[in-house]
Amino acid sequence: MNKTELISAMAAKAGMTKTDAKKALDAFVETTKASLKKGDKVAILGFGTFSVAKRAKRQGINPKTKKPITIKAKKVAKFKAGKGLAL
């Protein structure tokens, strides 16, 4: 499912217009991003938890030259599914 299909499904399920569903989805994404940038978790009961994880500096290989390179440490977004999301 892509973003357009998700917006259509949200609009149909909630009985709202696609424009309102797009605004709601965009607001959720922006709010989640802002919280993660601050280092906060976003937990949605029955769905899952978005959090920030630190990825350590590590060694890699440049695919073109086959020479070793150092990949910088960075922060990445992580999602852990809740019990309500079990398939």
pLDDT at 32: 96
Total count of residues recorded for the chain: 87
Task: Specify the CATH class of 41-87 in words.
Answer: few secondary structures
pLDDT tens-digit map of 49-83: 999 999 999 999 999 999 999 999 999 999 999 99
In which order are the strands placed within the sheet that holds 74-81?
42-44, 48-55, 74-81
**pTM as predicted:** 0.78
3 state SS for the chain: CCHHHHHHHHHHHHCCCHHHHHHHHHHHHHHHHHHHHCCCCEEECCCEEEEEEEECCEEEECCCCCCEEEECCEEEEEEEECHHHCC
**Domain ranges across the chain:** 1-39, 41-87
* Statement: residue 42 has pLDDT above 90: yes
